[in-house]
Amino acid sequence: MIDHPGFVLWFTGLSGAGKTTISVALEPKLRARGVRVERLDGDTVRQSLTKDLGFSKEDRDKNIERVMFVAKLLSRNNVAVLSAFISPYAATRDFVRTETTNFVEVFVDAPLMVCAERDVKGMYAKAFAGEIANFTGVSDPYEAPQNPDIHLKTHEMNLDECVDHVLNWLEERAFIPATVTEG
């Protein structure tokens, strides 16, 4: 393992914007450079950490609070954290920044109607039909980052471009080495 600082790539954006897709594609690219990586998203935390939680504002806040705790401990111990949650509230994201090491706000940005058309999980159809309460962007607010560290417009950039953009950003700041390491 190489020596590298811990950091938190905090992917925020609407459902369907591409947060998880980008973080999943990034993970092996970072590992190939010898970086220790943990990915935190709904799928990886729901079973152990947050299975009692729903989607009300209160539950969303609890969800982020627990994820933040994990990201804090990992990032201060030289682990790269890839976190993919809608995290719609600016104040919550700002709080995570204060609690973690090298917090990087990554705005995964696509217009609502683009996300709704992708509708990977069939959720937007239900949300527009009024069948899901508290659906971010439809019946619940999304507070877009005003000044994100990284801004990925996924309706204009393809996946490879998004991944390369993040890698370059990290390289320029010496958060990761420029070259792929052996084994």
Q: Which residues bind a second copy (CB under 8 A)?
A: 1, 3, 36, 38, 45, 48-49, 52, 62, 65-66, 68-70, 73-74, 77-79
CB of 107 to a second copy, least distance (A): 25
Q: What phi and psi, each to the nearest 5 degrees, are found at residue 12?
A: -125, 145
Count of alpha carbons within 13 angstroms of residue 155, beta-carbon side: 14
Active site residues: 87
CA distances from 173 to 4, 59, 70, 102, 146 (A): 11, 35, 24, 11, 22
Pairing mode, strands 103-109 and 7-12: parallel
* Complex with a second copy: residue 38 or 140, whichever CB lies closer: 38
* Complex with a second copy: residue 73 or 157, whichever CB lies closer: 73
* Complex with a second copy: residue 56 or 77, whichever CB lies closer: 77
CB of 161 to a second copy, least distance (A): 29
CB of 126 to a second copy, least distance (A): 28
Rounded to the nearest angstrom, the gap between the alpha carbon of residue 116 and the centroid of all alpha carbons in its chain is 19
* Complex with a second copy: residue 48 or 158, whichever CB lies closer: 48
CB of 81 to a second copy, least distance (A): 9
39, 84 in Cβ contact below 8 A? yes
